[in-house]
Amino acid sequence: MTTHAEDTAKNHAPHIIVIGGTSGIGLALALRHLQLGWQVSVVGSSEEKIAHIKQQHPSVVTYACDLTDNMQIQNLLDTLSDTHFQRLVYSAGSYTNERVYHLNQADSDKMLMINLQAFEQVFRWGSHQLKRQSQSLDVIQSSGVIKQDRPSLICIASIAGTLDYPYASLYAKSKRAMIATAGAYRAALIPYNIQVNCIASGYIDTQALRDLNNGDASHKPFIISTPSAVKHIMQAIHDDVELAVFPSSMRYITNILNHLPQPILSWILRSRLDKKH
C-alpha cells in the first residue's frame, strides 16, 4: 500500500510517451525512464508484446495501435489528448532489405507510412500538445519529487538518413526526411522552449536486427549494445543535441563520405550497398 507522499510524488513525476515502445530501443528507453521514476506510456502493435509488458512492468501504461492505419492513429491521439507529458519519443520503424529484395506494394506502403507519414502525424500532434501545455509546465522541486525537464519531442532515425545519394533506399530516404522534419520542428519550437532531438544511430544489437540476420548480427560494422545506445541517447537528450549520430566511428565515416564529390559517393554506395540492377 502506497503512502500519501508516494502518491504525490507519482502524480508529479514527469511522463514520457514512447511510440514504438514495446520492443527494441523504444522499450529500452521506456524502461530506463521507468528506472528514473518517470511515468511511462508505450504504444505498440503487438498484443503479445503488450501483454508481456503488462506482466513484467504493471506500472507501464500500454496502448495498442497499428501505425499503418490512419483511423487507429487518430483514435490513439484522441485518447492521449488529455495526457500531460514531458517527452514524446517516436521510435517506431519498418525495414525491408531493398539491397536483396525488390519492394512490393505492401512493404513500400508500410515503410512509407511508419517511417514518415505516421511520424509526421504524431509529431504534429505532439508539438500542438506541448505548446498547449507550455504555459502550465511548472518545475517541481519538492522533496522526493523529480525535477521536470524541458518538454521535448524525440525521434529515432538512422545513420542511413545522414547520407545523401541518388540511389538511396526508401528506408534511407524516409529517415533522411525524418531528420529534416525534426530540424524544422526544432527551429519552430524554440519560442516555446520546447526541445527537439533526432537520434541517428548505427547498428544496435536489438532482437529485430538479429531476426533480420538469421539470429546473429555480430558481423554488422561497429554494432553497439542496446544499453550502450540508451546511454548515448539519454546523454544526447540531456545535452540537447539537435542530431545525435553515434557510434563515433560511424559518425566519422559518414562525415568523410558526405564530403566526397557526389559522383564518387554514389559509385561507392551503389557498388557496396545497393542491390544489383
Which of 111, 187, 177 is CA-nearest to residue 153? 187
Determine the pLDDT at residue 102.
74
Place of cell 517506431: 92
- CA dist 125 → 75, 103, 122, 190 (Å): 12, 30, 5, 17
Residue 178: which H helix or E strand, with range? helix 170-189
> Where do the domains of the chain lie?
4-272
Architecture of domain 4-272: 3-Layer(aba) Sandwich (3.40)
Of the listed ranges 14-23, 199-208, 240-249, the least confidently predicted one is 199-208
Residue 5: pLDDT band by 50, 70, 90 thresholds? Answer: very low
* Collapsed DSSP state (helix, strand, coil) of residue 83: coil
What is the DSSP track for 202-261?
--B--HHHHHHTTT--TTSTT-B-HHHHHHHHHHHHHTT-SEEEESHHHHHHHHHHHTS-
H/E stretch holding 173 reads helix 170-189
The CA distances from residue 131 to 6, 134, 177, 185, in Å, are 29, 5, 23, 12
What pLDDT score was predicted for residue 249? 63
Residues sharing a CB contact under 8 Å with residue 109, sequence separation 6 or more, in sequence order: 68
**Per-residue model confidence as pLDDT tens digits over 240-253:** 999 999 866 666 66
Inform me whether the pLDDT recorded for 4 exceeds 50.
no
Average pLDDT over residues 247-260: 65
Q: Residue 140's pLDDT is what?
A: 41
pLDDT of residue 275: 43
For residue 145, pLDDT beyond 80: no
Confidence grade of residue 204 (pLDDT, cut at 50, 70, 90): confident
What's the mean pLDDT in 100-122? Answer: 89
pLDDT at 253: 67
Task: Identify the DSSP state of 274.
Answer: S
Is the confidence at residue 52, as pLDDT, over 90? yes
pTM for this model (two decimals):
0.83
Closest CA to 61 of 84, 42, 76: 42
pLDDT of residue 225: 87
